A and B are shown apart, each in its own frame.
Chain A
Amino acid sequence: LAKTTQPISMDSYEGQEVNITCSHNNIATNDYITWYQQFPSQGPRFIIQGYKTKVTNEVASLFIPADRKSSTLSLPRVSLSDTAVYYCLGYSGAGSYQLTFGKGTKLSVIP
């Protein structure tokens, strides 16, 4: 999962669902997909991770199709506080981390 591609920016109105897609064409069999959120002047914060199909937690959902060449982070009913940069990142098995952050997607939530 050395290289990921995401949209540079997205705008959304409050209350809408936002979907951010990350392309990772050269994903390896052992790679997990993880997503991070970063606010200005803070370190990134882990949001969600998955390997295939769908994963949901209290913050977001992550959809990974069968070919695993992309993943989509879904944020339900965004609020102004969701304005941040979102990164997808891949991990191989424990002890073998590929820690290449892509450029990230700057999400701007509009009132």
Chain B
Amino acid sequence: SAVISQKPSRDICQRGTSLTIQCQVDSQVTMMFWYRQQPGQSLTLIATANQGSEATYESGFVIDKFPISRPNLTFSTLTVSNMSPEDSSIYLCSVVRGSSGHEQFFGPGTRLTVL
């Protein structure tokens, strides 16, 4: 298994500002993933973050809006830039572990409200 923590757990932000979300894993992992989950909806993958390389973004998500850092094998940050109320969501990070390499472990999420 993997123990993942996220900071902050929740925040209320003003339109036009930026928020950086931190994700810490209890052991080294190659790939980390960032998701968004809007209220009552499923999870949408934002990007995949590999240590030592640029993050890979999914369709509809761009680096200018969601810059990601991956300075080492246990840590990553996601910034939500120039926020609008449409960015109000839960943001989750995850890693893949397990003997088969198919088990994904998620952090508790960061609940973001943009006013």
Q: Which residues of A contact B (CB under 8 A)?
A: 32, 34, 36, 41-46, 49, 87, 89, 91, 94, 97, 99-104
Which residue of the partner chain, among A34, A41, A100, contacts B102 with CB atoms under 8 Å?
A34
Interface flag for B57 (CB, 8 Å): no
Within the complex, the shortest CB–CB distance from A79 to chain B, in Å, comes to: 23
Distance to closest chain A CB from B32 (angstroms): 12
**Closest 7 A/B residue pairs (Cβ):** A43-B106, A101-B43, A94-B101, A46-B103, A91-B102, A101-B42, A99-B45
Contacts of B45 in A (CB 8 A): 99-101
In terms of DSSP, what is the predominant structure of the interface of chain A?
loop
User: With the chains together, A41 CA to B45 CA distance in Å?
Assistant: 18
Q: How far is the CB of A40 from chain B (nearest CB, A)?
A: 10
Q: Is the interface of B mostly helix, strand, loop or mixed?
A: strand
Q: Are A43 and B109 in contact (CB under 8 A)?
A: yes
Which listed residue (B31, B98, B100, B109) contacts A42, Cβ 8 A? B109
Closest CB of chain B to A28's CB: distance in Å? 14
**A94 contacts which chain B residues (CB < 8 A)?**
101
A44–B43 touching, CB < 8 Å? yes
Distance A89 CA – B42 CA, assembled complex (angstroms): 12
Which residues of the partner chain A approach B67 to less than 8 Å between Cβ atoms? Answer: none
Contacts of A104 on B, CB cut-off 8 Å?
A: 42
* Cα distance A101–B96 in the bound complex, in angstroms: 15
Taking a contact as CB atoms under 8 Å apart, the answer to whether A43 and B107 are in contact is yes
Query: Is there an interface contact between B44 and A44, defined as CB atoms closer than 8 Å?
Result: no
Q: Measured between alpha carbons, how far is A87 from B94 in the docked complex, in Å? A: 15
The CA of A42 and the CA of B98, in the complex, are separated in Å by: 20
CA distance A104 to B43 in the complex (A): 9
Interface check B104, CB cutoff 8 A: yes
Scan residues 1-31 of chain B and give those whose CB is less than 8 A from a CB of chain A: 4, 31
Q: Which residue of A lies closest to B45 (CB)?
A: A99
Q: Would you mind naming 6 contact pairs between A and B with Cβ atoms under 8 Å apart?
A: A44-B43, A46-B98, A46-B104, A49-B102, A89-B104, A101-B45
